[in-house]
Structure 1
Amino acid sequence: MNPRTSVQDVMRCDLCEIAIVQMHCDTCLVNLCKACVGEHFAADLSKPHKIVDFKDRKSTPLYPVCTTHDKQQCQMYCRQCNISVCTKCVASHQHLGHKLSEILEVLEERKDKIIKVQIELNEAIYPTYQGIASDVKNRMSQLENEYGVLSTAITKHGKNWHREIDKLVKNLKAEVDEMKNTQIQTLQKHLDEINKKLFNLREEIHLIDIIVESQDISKLLSATCTVDEYKHLPHKFVLSSPTFIPGKIHGEQFSKLFGTLTSTSPSPDENGYSMKTTHISPEAGSSPQVKQLLDEPETVTTIDTSCFKYYLETVACLSDEAIWAIGDDSTMKLFSMKQGSLFESIRTMNFFSISQGSLLKSITTRSWNRPWDIAVIKSGDLVYTDYDDKTVNIVKNEKIEEIIRLQNWKPSCICNSSSGDLLVTMEKDDRKQSKVVRYSGSTQKQTIQFDDEGKPLYSSGGYEIKHISENKNLDICVSDLSAKAIVVVNQSGKLRFRYTGHTPFAMKDLFKPRGITTDSQSHILTADYGKGCVHIIDQDGHFIRYIHCELSDPWALCTDTSDNLFVAQYWKRQVKKIKYQQ
């Protein structure tokens, strides 16, 4: 292997090109070995060479050279003239009375401003343009599909016309055949009559020939010959075939008759795109700090909830270290996510990463029915839905109170809104309708069921519950498994978008959304039970990435105040705590 050309070779001295780099000249930005330091000094004695360890390279500020006094470094800055100045400039009284600052102080100020610009570019402007590019690509893909549907519709219409024309041609030809047969039959009857006359004439002529040749006078005297009846000739039938008069085809009229396209032209949206927000200064108010996604999400810990006999269904965060969970029985259990020090030491050595979850509390539902969903409200109390009992209940100090009772509807999933309201998904007793209802206490405030065209927003008729979560922008997000979609409406209930999965997966791998949650960045996360992963999409429905982390049958999700993700694994009865943001 050639040490000078190998991509795995270490960095070598810029002078001798043999020895390994140990030192660095911050003045000349040259990498050096210890043996070549003296040679580098001797090569240019006019410079104040700053030699540092290689690991400390670029730590020495490079002062600008004065434009007035040759080879003098500028360590001051004249704020009035906006130029760097050296000590000779200051001594020459050229800047007498001007406000002078140390150039390092000015450097820090400029750096702060540049860093703010850098943050805004990296965390707001660049992601915004990425989102715009993604939006344009999605629109292009959507247009491809729409124009494909349009072409198919035109082709189908053309085939319909072809069928109608073929039918018309067939009918006209049948009419022609009928007219021809009628006229041929008329002429055939006339021909039969003429042939009969011809036969009679031949008989008459034959008898006359016999009489003429006979010498029998009595026959001649008795013979009666007449031609009068044959002098009246038969009628002449003048028959002619009909004429086909084709309809005139005028190009413009014909195209209008067939169908036309509405005109379209690109026009800018008055609302335009909106810049992504970023936390770059104290003036940013209460805007959340922008967090970057990790290149590789990592599992922080996994706990086992085998006290549920068959399956684990839903989790809800009480705090960063404690979660409520429900499964296959009528109890709601509170588990600690903390690990003991011995376990932590073993886990970090990668021997295993699953511990038995510490059960802190267990509460049985008032009706002894299995709860369908749970949520922790702002007060820290737990609320749950009782599908069979048609109630929503709250657990306060381990006592259960009924807060909502439904008639003809059954509650399935629930979440707490930022305003303190409860959002509940429910279905009609006959399972033919689904909707979302907002409650303030036990008072119904809003019903979300239909779009602007009066069509149902959510599927019905299935047995799959619809998980629900409110985003930081107050959008209401519902995972609709039967529709294989995430349905997102705004605060007033107007449909914003439907997310139906990410295309790189093969079509046969159907999107099967289960649990849903959101985070401080307004990301929407949904558990895809079919693919064994979690989808992350932004607040406008654009796919961002997957979280895999060796998930098995992910079912329900929740996030804590630090944006850690908790995933309930259905059949394994395990909860994984996953870090996916910096």
Structure 2
Amino acid sequence: MASEQHGRHKFVEVTEVFKKKKDDIKKDTQEFQNHISPTYEEIALDLENQLANLDGGYEKLTTTMSKQGEQWHREIDIVINKMKTELGEIKEKHRDILQKHLNEIKQIQSLIKETLQTIRKIEKSTEVSSTIEYSSKIREFSKFPAKVQVSLPTFIPKPAIDREKLYSLFGQITPLSTATEENVLSLNQPKTSVRELLDKPELVATIQTGYKELHSVTCLNEDRIWTSGETNDIKCFNIKGSLLQTIKTKSGRGHNDITVDSDGNLLYCDWTDRTVNIVKNGQTEELIRLQGWKPDNLCVTSTGDLLLTMFSDDRTKSKVVRYSGSTEKQTIQFDDEGKSLYSGNGYTKYITENRNHDICVADCEAEAVVVVNQDGKLRWRYTGHPSVTKNEPFEPWGITTDSQSRILTADSDNHCIHILDQNGQFLRYIDNCDLEDPTCLCVDNNDNLFVCEFEKGNVKKIKYLK
């Protein structure tokens, strides 16, 4: 009896295990069909597309190089023609100098001939009066003019151009950048769709902040922004321009850079007391206090770390430091050759992180956007784009990135925004929205761009993607 009961119990266990395994097999089948297999198909298709577009992409690069070469040839021809024109002008001056002196000599020669004819006439004459009145001209004509020798100009060719220097001046080929994305986390998440640039960006809204010098803006969400200016008030506005909240800085000083963390908490740095502060539920807490350095600008990374640009007390050194909370994790200051990555001074250096984890700094005094990878290795520098309409030097201020890993930086003196791809290649300007002295930038989750106008105190919301 006991044995029979034990057998039935064992049969039930096997049945349950069998049923559970059947359920697991069904779930696995669905997972393979609905997620795993389509994801691999998508990855394979993406790789096939990349391979299919490989030749075309490299052909575009070589075409760009060829156009650059043609431009260089044109510029060299312009230089040569300009020098030839200058040489022609010098030649005419040379001719004029010689001709002037020759005319003077010929005039004297004519006088000498006339004098000689007069002397010979007197010599043959028997008239007493003309002989007695004769006055010698020898002394007058013996004062010979200086002999003029005008030397030809010389052309001094510059020493042969160093090929490596020429190579660096011609352009830069960025190294291959291989970005890997963790697909396990993205199986059930929508992928970021490709969004192209609008042919003509559109001004959506203008928010008047009341600042005389608008220093910083950051997006809290799609409807709200935080702003900071010359006063100790950090203000929160909605997209309609209504003031929703004001926070006073602890030091009572203005010109503070601001950002927001993933929980919506406001962070601001205060260079006057060397602190970085966080505002939680209306209460301000000191997060970081520096020694020997002053905080400049900051951003929060995708992993929740804090990136902070700072300058030394004597304003001779600058660096980027990564923090986890208040703990220093990484310092970025020098390249592989030991040279400073950033200009050493107290000028503003806005900072942001790209989706590929590159760290992008707008170094206005160096007239460059400096981009390093997450390990702090220099990837590239962007020093502006040649333009016949942008006449002022490129001095980047604000910087931000969007969902497409594009980089946007404010060119304040030329009143425009430069849009770059993640490898530093110029894509286009935003220069049609009546921007004036743009400084700080930020992008919301829908890729709307917010631009500070420094002296007007306005924040402009701009749509630039399709």
Alpha-carbon distance, 1:572 to partner: 1.1
Equivalent runs, 1:364-383 vs 2, <5 Å: 364-383=248-267
Q: Which of 197, 205, 208 is the aligned partner of 1:293? A: 197
2:291 aligned with 1:389, yes or no?
no
Q: 1:336 aligns with which of 238, 246, 257?
A: 238
Question: 1:170-185 residue pairs with structure 2 within 5 A?
Answer: none
- The equivalent position to 1:555 in structure 2, one of 439, 443, 447, is 439
TM-score (norm 2): 0.63
State the alpha-carbon separation in 1 of the partners of residues 348 and 390 from structure 2. Answer: 24
Secondary structure of 2:276's counterpart equals strand
Question: Of residues 512, 516, 537 in structure 1, which corresponds to 2:395?
Answer: 512
* CA distance in 1 between partners of 2:320 and 2:54 (Å): 32
TM superposition shift of 1:133: 4.7
Q: Which residue number in structure 2 is paired with residue 347 of structure 1?
A: none
Q: Corresponding residue for 1:103?
A: none
Per-residue deviation at 1:530? 1.4
Rounded to whole Å, the distance in 1 between the matches of 2:205 and 2:60 is: 34
Q: Contact between 2:316 and 2:344, CA under 8 Å: does it hold in 1?
A: yes
In 1, Cα distance between equivalents of 2:354 and 2:190:
16
Higher RCO (C-alpha under 8 Å, 6+ residues apart): 2
Alignment partner of 1:474 is 2:378: no
SS at match of 1:473: coil
- State the one-letter code of the partner of 1:331: D
Instruction: Judge conservation of contact 2:215–2:255 (CA < 8 Å) in 1.
Output: no
> Which piece of structure 1 moves more, 506-515 or 316-325?
506-515
User: What amino acid sits opposite 1:446 in the alignment?
Assistant: Q
In structure 1, the partner of 2:222 is 320
Tell whether 2:311 aligns with 1:311: no
- Report the Cα distance in structure 2 between the residues aligned to 1:458 and 1:481, rounded to whole angstroms: 10
Kindly state the Cα deviation for residue 369 of structure 1 after the two structures are TM-superposed.
1.7
Q: Which residue of 2 aligns with 1:403?
A: 287
1:509 deviation in Å? 2.3
Query: Where do 1:84-123 residues align within 5 Å?
Result: none
**TM-superposition CA deviations, 1:141-178 (whole Å, max 9, x none):** 8889999xxxxxxxxxxxxxxxxxxxxxxxxxxxxxxx
Matched AA of 1:292: E
Alignment of 1:503-542 (within 5 A): 503-505=386-388, 508-542=391-425
Contact 2:391 2:414 in 1 (8 A): no
Unaligned stretches of 5+ in structure 2?
1-41, 74-159, 165-172
Q: Take 2:235 and 2:179, find their aligned partners in 1: how far apart are those partners?
A: 43
**Alignment match, 1:495:** 378
Contact 1:317/1:324 (CA < 8 Å) preserved in 2? yes
Residues 76-116 of structure 1: CA deviation (Å, up to 9, x unaligned): xxxxxxxxxxxxxxxxxxxxxxxxxxxxxxxxxxxxxxxx9
Residue 454 of structure 1 deviates from its aligned partner by 0.5
Q: Distance in 2 between matches of 1:518 and 1:415?
A: 12
Aligned residues of 1:565 and 1:579 also touching (Cα < 8 A): yes
Q: Aligned residue for 1:575?
A: 459
Q: Which runs of 5+ in 1 are unaligned?
A: 1-115, 148-257, 263-268, 339-356
In structure 2, do the counterparts of structure 1 residues 442 and 142 end up closer, same or farther at CA, with 3 Å as the change threshold? Answer: farther
Cα separation, 1, equivalents of 2:176 and 2:268: 41
Kindly provide the amino acid, as one letter, of the partner of residue 415 in structure 2: G
- 1:434 equivalenced with 2:323 (yes/no): no
Q: Which of 1 and 2 has greater Rg?
A: 1
CA positional deviation for 1:504: 2.4
Aligned-residue Cα RMSD (Å) equals 3.5
Inter-partner Cα distance in structure 2 for 1:133 and 1:379:
46
Corresponding residue for residue 302 of structure 2: 418
Identity of aligned residues (%): 50
Say if 1:391 and 1:402, in contact at 8 Å, map to a contact too: yes
Q: Name the amino acid aligned to 2:441.
A: L
Check the 8 A contact 1:128/1:276 in 2, yes or no: no
1:455 aligns with 2:361: no
Amino acid aligned to 2:230: D
- Distance (whole Å) between structure 2 residues aligned to residue 513 and residue 493 of structure 1: 20
Alignment CA distance shift 1:543-1:503 (3 Å):
same
SS at match of 2:220: strand
Residues 132 and 540 of structure 1: is their aligned pair in 2 closer, same or farther, counting only changes over 3 Å?
A: farther
Q: 1:420 to 1:554 in 2, by over 3 A?
A: same
Distance 2:316 2:162 in 1: 39
Structure 1 residue 475: Cα displacement: 0.2
